[in-house]
Chain A
Amino acid sequence: MSHVAAQAVTNSQTPEKRERRRQVSDQTIVRLFIMPTLILLIVINIFPLFYSLYLSFTDYSVIANKPPEWVGLENYQKILTKELPRYWHNFVVTGSYALLSVGLQVVIGFSLAMLLREKFKGSGFVTTLILIPMMLSPVVVGLFWKLIFDPSKGIFNYFLYPGNPSAGPEWLANPQLALWAIVIVDVWMWSPFVMLLCLSGLSAIPDYLYEAAAIDRASSWFQFRRITLPQVAPLLLIAVLFRTIEAFKAFDLVMGLTGGTPGDATETVAVRIYREAFLGKFNTGESSALAYIVLVIIIAVSNLYIRALNRMRED
């Protein structure tokens, strides 16, 4: 901390009293500056977490005029035994969605980054154009893609089957395809994000590595595998972790596009929690328990993510 030393030197010339006052006021400033943030985050984020931990051990519905009744582990037990098949389905949907979309995003995002790597006239503009989807509101995007996927009025099937669009599938009504539809939209929205991170990784690779490889007559595949890939890997990892966390939270896009339909074919865990907690019977206790299970998973992944970020920061 160089400034502490510098300050000590400057203060040594001032009267001792004044020094003490400045020391005190520095500490006060720190407190005054940090407290509002911490208090707000504790009230809005941490307190609710403990509250919902409590709720997850109770039988409670927010619309019933009955106080929460302590039932111990019954909610968790129910989720993990009797109700397991349907909940398991939600996790499978969320997992396959996460796996498919993150996988495709990595491939497409990375390829786009390779294409945009060497600058050409207007490449900055083109990059920004590609980035637009990522900034849009997911629910609005989902809603609009609903029209695009429509078998008779939408343009998606016209691209796939230009001659005879009615031969195309009904994307959102078909239980197998509906999840793919969500994956397609998610990939459309978020491949640019992966691209952005990869581009930054690529631009940081020193040219001399390639020059050395060129002198050694290394094949371009060798260069890609031994130079490009390892150098971009840390950023790619960050992109993957971030997208995985977001995929587990998948709510906005799914609600806009399908709302979990057809049946419960695209019901992700987040959508299920919403349906349990805010629709129908308002199963507050049980949905809190489910929320906690999701929370543990997300905290595990976020931990990895934040650690990776911290490492990037320190570099």
Chain B
Amino acid sequence: MSTETRHSVNYSTRVDKVGIRPRLVRTIRALITIFIALTLLIPVVWMGMTAFKSRADAVASPPKLVFEPTLEGFVSLLTKRRQLTAEQKAEYEQRTDLNWADEIALERGQAIIGQSEYAQRLRNSLIIASTSTVLSVAMGLLSAYAFSRFRIPGEGDLLFFILSTRMLPPVVVTIPIFLMYREIGLYDTHIGMILLYTAFNLSFSVWLLKGFIDEIPREYEEAALVDGYTRLQAFVRIVLPQAVTGIAATTVFSFIFAWNEYAFALMLTTDTARTAPPSIPSVLGTGGIEWAAIAAGSLGFLIPVVIVTFLLRRYLLRGVTFGAIRQG
């Protein structure tokens, strides 16, 4: 990308870009853009609102814009409850040792008897996504460094091979992996999922990190080598500190991919190692789909991603194109 040429002209000399009319056009353009952006966000905002609606409000027809916020959705998402009889309910209402979650459940005539499966699955998601992220970034970093700094026979082909593994549709690879895992006892285990997600993200992290390491001038390392550093020392003390931004961006991207992954989790886990994405659809209540609970689950799931999107905004382009294209 020819960023240099773009920066060489800092101001426009175009006659058609001064005066009142172009400024008005610019304002209108900005307003239209903001309007479109807000329209596009309606589904996300709506999900946020639904998460705080009561069970009845969530499915009200016509949809309710104004409602009384409640944490009912979150409570029914994260807890296991038992239906109370009228007497039990009366007895519960006398008690003073109830916390806010119990109170909310009580309004629906229920008592909390423990954590829901979803809480467990959220924990699985966290364990599997973070471990596999650390592994894939660590392994990716080593490979990326080797690819960036040494002449490797068949380098192009190897990199091509590494990226092509990422293009495989999960459904295609899953059948043999399913059989393989069942044979060696990795089916529905954390280790099995961690290995799978590590491999899944590895191609991405190698490509992205190679792009970042390529940008670090070799001269620093060479100077260090002259000073008597070994290769490893030069890698650890010179390259790593300079690649920190790249490592951070790769980590976050890998985490999001693993965090959002659905197909592998659906087909290769049932219970012990099942993650949150395949569980959200099955958060069903006794009387139909509990939309507030589903929205609460989705919201809790999406908030980290939204925050990260903002933190990463300078690297988004790089991330989604495997490091090939850099933002100006």
Contact = CB atoms under 8 A, between A and B. Distances in A.
A264 interface: no
A44 B325 contact: no
A232 B125 CA distance: 39
Interface in A7-50: 7, 10, 22, 25-26, 29-30, 32-34, 36-38, 40-41, 43-49
Interface of A is mostly: helix
B118 to A, nearest CB: 13
- Interface residues of B toward A: which range? 35 or more
Contacts of B313: 124, 127-128, 131
Interface string B213-243: 0000010011001100011100000000000
A136 B302 contact: yes
A274 B266 CA distance: 10
B15 A214 contact: yes
Interface residues of A, number: 114
Contact of A299 (B42, B58, B164): B164
B309 A132 contact: yes
Interface in A165-215: 165, 188, 192-193, 196-197, 200, 203-208, 210-211, 214
A137 B178 contact: no
Contacts of A206: 2, 5-6, 9
Given A30-B152, A248-B169, 12 more contacts: A3-B218, A6-B222, A26-B231, A44-B195, A46-B165, A136-B305, A207-B14, A211-B12, A245-B167, A274-B171, A277-B267, A309-B324
B244 interface: no
Contacts of A3: 149, 218, 221-222
B119 interface: no
A169 to B, nearest CB: 16
A313 B211 CA distance: 9
A135 interface: yes
A142 B208 CA distance: 29
Interface in B301-320: 301-302, 305-306, 308-310, 313, 316-317, 320
Contacts, number: 319
B85 interface: no
A115 B146 CA distance: 42
A265 interface: no
B2 A249 contact: no
Contacts of B301: 137, 140
B175 A52 contact: yes
A164 B120 CA distance: 43
25 contacts: A1-B151, A29-B150, A29-B231, A29-B232, A44-B199, A120-B29, A126-B37, A134-B320, A137-B302, A140-B260, A145-B43, A155-B63, A158-B62, A204-B6, A238-B324, A255-B262, A270-B263, A278-B267, A288-B176, A291-B171, A305-B167, A306-B167, A309-B163, A309-B324, A312-B324
Interface string B84-95: 000000000000
A256 interface: yes
Contacts of B47: 144
Interface string A95-121: 000000000000000001001101011
